[in-house]
């Protein structure tokens, strides 16, 4: 079972407040911790401020990481949200 998934930020505005809020909403449904990781920095995915602080413009590679294999659905939902440009396309 994979506990992380790499994704590229595809949307024009990058990872901004509205997109971070969508990630946080999904992450809050997890049983355990969910992280967004960029360049070795792990930030709590439920914190909009922490996620925005990573500064992820278009083209940035990040990883979505879970700590409990039971949260695989949450991991996949967040990765899919990012891959589809947060519904901005």
For the chain, the domains span 4-87
In this predicted model, what pLDDT tens digit does every residue of 21-46 receive, in sequence order?
999 999 999 999 999 999 999 999 99
pLDDT level of residue 2 (50, 70, 90 thresholds):
confident
Residues 6+ apart with CB under 8 A from 49: none
Asked if 23 and 51 touch (Cβ cutoff 8 Å), the reply is: yes
In this predicted model, what pLDDT tens digit does every residue of 48-66 receive, in sequence order?
999 999 999 999 999 999 9
Mean of the per-residue pLDDT values of the chain: 96
- For CA atoms 22, 79, 4, 71, give the dihedral sign: positive
pLDDT level of residue 5 (50, 70, 90 thresholds):
very high
Asked if 19 and 52 touch (Cβ cutoff 8 Å), the reply is: no
Does domain 4-87 fall under CATH 3.30.1340.10? My reply is: yes
């Amino acid at each position: 079972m994979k506990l992380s998934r790499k994704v590229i930020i595809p949307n024009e505005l990058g990872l901004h407040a509205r997109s971070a809020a969508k990630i946080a909403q999904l992450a809050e449904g997890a049983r355990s911790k969910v992280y967004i990781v960029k360049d070795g920095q792990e930030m709590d995915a439920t914190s909009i401020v922490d996620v925005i602080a990573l500064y992820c413009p278009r083209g940035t590679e990040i990883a979505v990481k879970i700590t409990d294999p039971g949260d695989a659905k949450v991991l996949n939902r967040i990765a899919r949200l990012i891959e589809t440009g947060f519904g901005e396309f």
